[in-house]
Structure formats: C-alpha cells, structure tokens
Structure 1
Amino acid sequence: MSKFNQFIVAGIGTEIGKTVVSAVLVEALQADYWKPVQSGALEDSDTETVRRLISNPVSRFHPEAYRLKEPLSPHAAAAIDGITIDLAAIQLPQTNNALVVELAGGLMVPLNDRDLTIDWVQQSGLPVVLVSRNYLGSINHTLLSVEACRSRHIPLLGILFNGPTTPATETFILNYTGLACLGRIGQEEEITPDVIRRYAASVRLNQALETA
C-alpha cells in the first residue's frame, strides 16, 4: 500500500473539529482510525466517538499508544500520570487498509519537554490533511500551520474547512497557500452517522491521494 493511503488529520488549534472530520474521512475511504495520544475523556474517547459515527463494516479502530487521564496538553497530562511520552513508542499500527491518524491538538503541541507533535508527524513520513475553522485569527493560525509543515517538508494533501463558511477567509487561504479544498463541513445541530455519510460522499480526497 502507498503511504499516501495513510495520512494524518491535523488541526490549526484545539476544538477545530478534527474528530468529526476524521470520521468523515474514515467513512469516505472505509479506512482504519488511530489516535496516537488521548488526553482525558478516557471513557468517551475520540476513538469511541468515531466508532459510533461510522457505518461501514470494514474500518478497524486501533488502540492509542498513550491514554492519559487529564484533558491537558499531552506533556502535562503525561507528567501527572508519572510517565514521559517517547516518540519511539508511537508506532503506526500494522494494517493493509487505508489509515486515518488524528492528532491531539495542533501541530506545535508538546509531547514531552523536548518534542512537539510536529516532530512525530515529520518522523512518520505521512502527509497531512489540515482542518481549519473560521474565527477571528484563523487565517493566521492556518497559514502558520501550513508554513510549519512546509518548512519541514511535510506533504500537505489539502485543507478541509469545518463549521460556518466565511468565503473571504477561505478564498484567501486557498489562494495564498495554493492548497486544494478537500471539502466543507457545515454547522450541524447534531452529528449522526447519517450526517457523516452525507459528508463522506462529498469530500474530494481520492484525487489528492492519487496525485500526492
């Protein structure tokens, strides 16, 4: 399998909607799902959320490398649990299927006193789907995330916008970065498997994977 059938979902910050986007992409590709680091919400983790939203019978859900008790930055949550996150311990799960990897927080989130999430992304060799959400400052956060990836030669498959649409913001981001818009997920009153299937049918990911 080409490594480009496996990719990372990264957000421009926290509470951007990476988990919903991940569910959409998992359903679109009937891919496996993996979140390397879960901080907090261990009884209702992002893995369990995606599992509930998926309808296809193919996708598998791989266990996290680290399950941390507190809903904090991974380095802080790990310290409270008395452990240190080791990048070498975060190994991609073995699968013959496509794989969607969801990060915890943004690209520059610390995993320990020395390493950032983007260090692991670079080490993995996987490309990134960047999730952006429109709010005051989101242009800055999106462009900084793109610049961070490009400075480390991390491939970007494109951008997926989540939440209410702001055409002026989205147009500027796409024109400035030259990245493809892989899709838009609107503001939904409730996220259900039916909603996920609807958006899964509309995302434009296959072409990005083929040309990466």
Structure 2
Amino acid sequence: MSVFIVTGTDTDIGKTVFAAGLTGALRARYWKPVQAGVDPEGDKERVAALSGLPASHILPEAYRLTTPASPHLAARIDGVEIGLDRLALPKVDGPLVVEGAGGLMVPVSETLLMIDLFAHWRAPVILCARTGLGTINHSLLSIEALRARDIPIAGIAFIGDPHAENERIIPLLGKVPSLGRLPYLDPLDAGALKAAFKASIRLP
C-alpha cells in the first residue's frame, strides 16, 4: 500500500483541493483522521465532490469534531479525548491519501502535534505551499521541521498564481522535488480539477 500525506505550510492554503486532485489522479482512498469543523461540511465531503471517485474511496474520519478550531481545542470544546490508538493508518487496497489538519505544528491533543503523527506513520509527505509573499520562509521552515524528524518528503506542490522565483528557489534551497503548481480554479469542480491536475502536477 502506497501512502502520501498531504499537509500545508499554513491553514486555508488549498491542500484539501490538492488532496482531492491527488486522490482522483491516483484513484486512491482518502482519509482525514481529524476533522475540526463541519459547517456546512467537512473536507471529506469536499474531496468526495471534487475527486470524481465513488463514495467507497472516501473513508470516515477517526474524529469528527463540530468546532472549527485547532483539533486540540475543538476536542476539548466537544468533550472528546483524542488518542493515538485510534489514529493508525487504515489498511486499504491501493494508494491512500491522508490529509492533515492545518500546518505541521498544529496540536492534535495536549501532547501530540500533527508533525508527531506524521513521524509516527513514517509515510512520505507532500507539502502544499502558497506562491505569494512569505512562502519562502514558511516553506523552508516546514521542510526543516520535517527533516529534523526524519519524515520523508515526496515533494512540494505550489498552489496559486504563478511566481517563477518562489517556485524556483524553494525547491533549490530546500533540496526537495517540485511537483508543480496547481492554479486557482474558477469554477472549481471535479472536471476542472482533474484537467488542471493532469496539466500542472507531476505525480510523486
């Protein structure tokens, strides 16, 4: 079973859209272990709509929290205790795409960061990054944090409008493969995402 973890240098960076495109391109299963905030829907529902895959490819979350906040806070507000024992990677036939919550240093619980969970799984990470101002610092810090924990990096994927220099210098300085750049899509639907992903992203 091949596993890819999709994370971002920040929240609201477009990693759910990227994860949907990757899930569709690989005809993989998708799993978001911790969903915090489900109004009007969670990321699982968005990926189901954008991936173009049957419902059987979208796995239920280990924790589905109603409060839109950091998972540790959402769990506290919802009266839920998040435990590592429920966060084992699911066994599936074929590829599995796992989407983290927020960025690497987001707390899953009082004692567990998202990056700690990635280190526990030891699966390759795809880092999604903005193209605009600030992305060099955020991206290189994220790459350094992953390397400090010996987490394999499958590559970096840029999301947004073109910025040739940022897209050049980050893979160079970070010594990671660039998987390309996914542009903003309007309208955003399964067909547009599939076409853009095929045209713009190199599969890891």
Name the TM tier (shorter chain).
Answer: over 0.9
**Residue 192 of structure 1: which of 174, 189, 196 is its match?**
189
- Tell me the equivalent position of 2:202: 204
Deviation, structure 1 residue 136: 2.3
Query: Which residue of 1 is the match for residue 42 of structure 2?
Result: 45
Q: Deviations over 1:156-189 (max 9, x none)?
A: 0001100111111111101101211112111222
Deviation of 1:42 (Å): 5.2
User: Which deviates further from its counterpart, 94-103 or 81-90?
Assistant: 81-90
Task: Identify the residue that residue 13 of structure 1 maps to in structure 2.
Answer: 10
CA contact (8 A) 1:30 1:58 kept: no
For residues 53-132 of structure 1, the aligned pairs below 5 Å read 53-57=50-54, 60-132=57-129
Alignment check: 8 A CA contact 1:131 1:159 kept: yes
Retained in 1: the 8 A contact 2:183–2:196? no
2-structure distance, mates of 1:42, 1:90: 23
1:137 is aligned to: 134
Which segment is superposed worse, 108-117 or 192-201?
192-201
Aligned counterparts of 2:156 and 2:124: Cα–Cα separation in 1:
12
Counterpart AA for 1:167 = A
1:53–1:192 Cα contact (<8 Å) kept: yes
Determine if contact 1:33/1:59 at 8 Å carries over to the other structure.
Answer: no
* AA of the residue aligned to 1:204: R
Residues 82 and 59 from structure 1, CA distance in 2 versus in 1: closer, same or farther, beyond 3 angstroms? Answer: closer
Aligned-pair CA distance for 1:43? 4.6
Moved more, 167-176 or 53-62: 53-62
Q: Which SS does the other structure have where 1:100 is aligned?
A: strand
**Stretches of 4+ moved more than 3 A in 1?**
56-59
**Secondary structure of 2:184's partner?**
coil
Q: Aligned in 2, Cα 1:45/1:169: closer, same or farther, shift over 3 Å?
A: same
Greater Cα offset, 114-123 or 178-187: 178-187
What root-mean-square deviation, in Å, do the aligned CA atoms of Structure 1 and Structure 2 show?
1.4
Q: Is the 8 A contact 1:8 1:127 kept in 2?
A: yes
Q: Give TM-score, length-normalised by structure 1.
A: 0.91
CA distances 1:140-167 after superposition (whole Å, capped 9, x unpaired): 1100110010001100000110011111
> Sequence identity, in percent?
45
User: Once the 2 structures are TM-superposed, how far is the Cα of residue 58 of structure 1 from its aligned partner?
Assistant: 8.8
Equivalent position SS for 2:129: strand
Q: Post-superposition shift, 1:54?
A: 2.0
Letter aligned with residue 108 of structure 1: M
Could you tell me which residue of structure 1 aligns to residue 161 of structure 2? 164
- Give the TM-score normalised by the residue count of structure 2: 0.94
Query: Does structure 1 residue 179 correspond to structure 2 residue 176?
Result: yes
Gapped runs of 5+ residues in structure 2? none
Moved more, 81-90 or 99-108: 81-90
Q: CA shift at 1:196, angstroms?
A: 1.4
Q: How many residues align?
A: 203
Matches within 5 A, 1:24-43: 24-41=21-38, 43=40
Give, in whole Å, the separation in 2 of the partners of 1:83 and 1:126.
Answer: 27
